[in-house]
Structures are given as structure tokens and as C-alpha cells.
Amino acid sequence: MSEPVLEIPEGWEERAVDGWEWATLWEAVEEGDHGYSHDRVQQAIDAGIDPRVILDDGLFPGFNLQGDRFSEQIIFIPEMLITARAMKAGLALIRPLLAANDEKPLGTFIMGTVLGDMHDIGQSIVTIMLENAGFNVINLGTDVHPDKFIETAAEEKADMIGFSALLSTTVYYQKVTIDEFEKAGHRDKVHILIGGAPTTQEWADECGADGWGRDAMEAVKLARRLITDQRGAWA
């Protein structure tokens, strides 16, 4: 077992502004200081730093360091949770900037983490990127029951749905939820995308999804490609 180290993003100085430093934010996210994380991200926004740069260079290094420690069982749920909270305090400020888009939405996308799974950082980032790309995204949060996905998709006449899962035990619910759409007679009305670290293209094929996104950028590319193919109409 190797001790995880902070991975400093290469070339971060060129992407920030003169005299800027990220070290205090890396440390704040690592230590779960959500108040500082919020304030430092606000300062970065005020200084005119690109929100994507704030996410990648400012917020992720400390989060990834703690994530690696969590995976190695050097830290446990309480520490990981406070780091996640600090990450989300920063994400909340970046979100409206990335999503500022007044044009007619490309389509309605329902996003959620499947039943039994509480992980939401990855799907929140995908949500932000989809909003930024022009989708109207309704995020149902975590631990979402298949019925809730179906009910919301019907209410909102969704074009696309995304199921996130981070646990090898919950990826199964991606298939269960897809099967429930089939049983309810709605499967042909929506494009279904899946994602989350343990998922693969093979799993997407096996569980009957229309696509798999390795990361947020791929999710956006996929959604933009699929939206051009109209599905059956909602009643």
C-alpha cells in the first residue's frame, strides 16, 4: 500500500492569474473546510479565473488526494464526507457560471444516482456540463427509486435519462431501472445513458443502455449526438 500524494496539476500557474496560489484551497478541501472552500472559490471567480480551471486546478487536487486515501482505507466515511462537502461548497458557486445559457434547451435530461447509492459528486459534474451544453437538466439526487425516474420522465416528457452508480453492488440497479422503463412501456421514448467509475461500455451494452460516458465530457458528446435522434412521443 503506497501513501497517496497530492497531485499538483501541471501548468496551473499559466491558467490562473498573476500571484495566485491554490495550495490553501487544496488543503481546505483535503481538511474539509467548506467555509474556506466557498470563500476561496468566490475569490477565484472574482479574480476572473475560468470556472473549469477552478474545478480542475482548485477543487479536484485535495478531493482526489482524500479519495485515494479513502480507497486505501487510510481515512473513512466521516473524513471523506467533510471533504465532499467542501468540494460541493465550491461546486455550488461554479455551477451557475458554467450553466449560464438562456437559449432554448437542446432537450430535457433527467439525472440521478440509482437506488442504494449515495455518491453524487460525479453526476453533479455531469449535470453542470450538460447544463453548460444547453440541456435542461432535472437532477433527482441520490438513492433514486426506479419509480421516481419513471414518474419524473413522464411528467417532464424527458428526452434523455442518466443513471449514475459508483458501487459494484448498485450498478445492478441501472439494469433494474432500465427494465422498469421497459415494463412501463416507456423505454422507446427516452435515450438512457449510464456512467460511474465501475461501469463500462460492455456493461452498458449488457444492461440495455443507449450509451456510456467515461467522464463528463464524454457524457456531453454522447448526449449531443443522441438528441438528434428523436424517440417515440410521450402522451
Residues near ligand B12 (CB under 6 A) are: 67, 70-71, 77, 80-81, 84, 116-123, 125-126, 162-164, 166-169, 193-198, 213, 215-216, 219
Contact 109, 136 (CB under 8 A): yes
Min dist CB 11 to ligand B12, Å, is 20
Q: How far apart are CA 194 and CA 213, in angstroms?
A: 7
Give the whole-angstrom CA distance, residue 222 versus residue 201. Answer: 13
Sign of torsion over alpha carbons 87, 93, 98, 101: positive
Give the residue with the Cβ less far from ligand B12, 4 or 13: 4
Contacts 24+ apart (CB under 8 A), 204-210: 206/175, 207/174, 207/175, 207/178, 208/175, 208/178, 208/179, 208/182, 209/163, 209/174, 209/178
**CB nearer to ligand B12: pick between 43 and 169:** 169
Residue 20 or 152: which CB sits closer to ligand B12? Answer: 152
- Least Å from the CB of residue 152 to ligand B12: 15
Q: Write down the least CB distance from residue 14 to ligand B12, Å.
A: 23
Least distance (Å) between residue 187 CB and ligand B12: 16
Q: How far is the CB of 82 from ligand B12 (least distance, A)?
A: 9
Tell me whether residue 16 or residue 128 sits nearer to ligand B12 (CB atom).
128
Cβ–Cβ < 8 Å for 199, 226: no
The minimum distance between CB 104 and ligand B12, in angstroms, equals: 23
Of the pair 47, 214, the CB lying nearest ligand B12 is at 214
Going from the C-alpha of 70 to that of each of 32, 80, 84, 110, 169, the distances in angstroms are 14, 7, 12, 30, 18
- Which helix (DSSP H) or strand (DSSP E) does residue 147 occupy? helix 146-156
Grid cell 417532464 is found at 156
- The number of helix segments (H) and strand segments (E) in the chain equals 11, 5
Least separation in angstroms between CB 12 and ligand B12? 18
Q: Which CB, 53 or 118, lies closer to ligand B12?
A: 118
Q: Say which residues have a Cβ less than 8 Å from residue 69's Cβ, sequence separation at least 6.
A: 4, 75, 79
**Closest to ligand B12 by CB, 36 or 109:** 109
